[in-house]
């Protein structure tokens, strides 16, 4: 049964590439949209250049002192930051003191259309975490729980090299499904699935025509921005050492 006020899937799937399979339900509130962003992949990758010139990719450090193997940056009104003091959203890039680059219109449009196709119309993200995976890098199982408001979904866009996405349950001990994601695939989860543990298995080597020897992931979120007096959140995402 669809949630009140939601559009039907048939009304919302204009972004699917011809020949791609219908959306796959991963769990209640979680949907895999195969090829949803494939047609615009080149534009999305090109839009990254000015973002990464203004806010370079960096390997953040977890509160436990481990350096993450995945390189990260952000765009939008706020960016997700990991430091020894904790995890938080910050309106400024800690490395430069400047505001994060503006989120491109193509990013906002894609996130809104994908969220609607996943059953969450009206999604307007204010943060996009950009992850760059080199071969052998991974992201351990974790929950996205630093946003402060869990009513909005997560929209995750895969670009470049294929990856194995780990989609678990609401407990860390739940065995995750292993889902192959290719260029242009989008995963949307929210509602009862919003706090699902998820991650990425070590990336296989390869070469992609758009991204070269790496995978790019765009994660769109709606974060409740902290006041000037607020500090880092408590270490809660459950990251472990990245190899």
Domain boundaries, the chain: 23-221
Class of domain 23-221: mainly beta
- From 141, 133, 131, 129, select the one nearest 219 (Cα to Cα): 129
Cβ count near 66 (within 10 Å): 16
Reply yes or no on whether the pLDDT at 58 is more than 60.
yes
Q: Give 133's DSSP letter.
A: E
93 or 3, which is more confident?
93
pLDDT digits over 68-83, tens only? 999 999 999 999 999 9
Is residue 129 within 8 Å of 147, Cβ to Cβ? no
**Residue range 108-163, pLDDT digits in tens:** 999 999 999 999 999 999 999 999 999 999 999 999 999 998 999 999 999 999 99
């Amino acid at each position: 049964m669809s949630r009140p006020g939601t559009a039907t899937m048939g009304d919302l799937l204009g972004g699917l590439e011809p020949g791609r399979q219908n959306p796959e339900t991963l769990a209640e509130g979680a949907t895999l949209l195969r090829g949803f962003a494939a047609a615009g992949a080149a534009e999305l990758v090109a839009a990254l250049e000015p973002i990464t010139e203004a806010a370079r990719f960096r390997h953040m450090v977890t509160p436990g002192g481990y350096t993450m193997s995945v390189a990260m940056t952000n765009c939008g009104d706020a960016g997700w930051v990991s430091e020894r003091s904790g995890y938080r959203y910050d309106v400024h890039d800690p490395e430069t003191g400047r505001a994060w680059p503006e989120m491109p219109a193509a990013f906002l449009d894609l996130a809104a259309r994908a969220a609607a196709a996943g059953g969450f119309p009206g999604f307007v993200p204010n943060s996009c975490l950009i992850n760059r995976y080199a071969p052998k890098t991974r992201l351990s199982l974790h929950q996205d729980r630093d946003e402060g408001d869990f009513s909005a979904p997560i929209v995750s866009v895969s670009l470049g090299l294929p990856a194995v996405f780990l989609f678990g349950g609401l407990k860390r001990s739940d065995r995750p499904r292993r889902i192959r994601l290719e260029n242009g695939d989008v995963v949307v989860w929210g509602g009862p699935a919003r706090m699902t543990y998820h991650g990425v298995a070590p990336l296989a080597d390869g070469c992609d025509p758009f991204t070269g020897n790496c995978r790019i992931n765009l994660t769109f979120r709606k974060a409740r921005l902290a006041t000037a007096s607020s500090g880092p959140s408590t270490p809660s995402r459950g990251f472990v050492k990245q190899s």
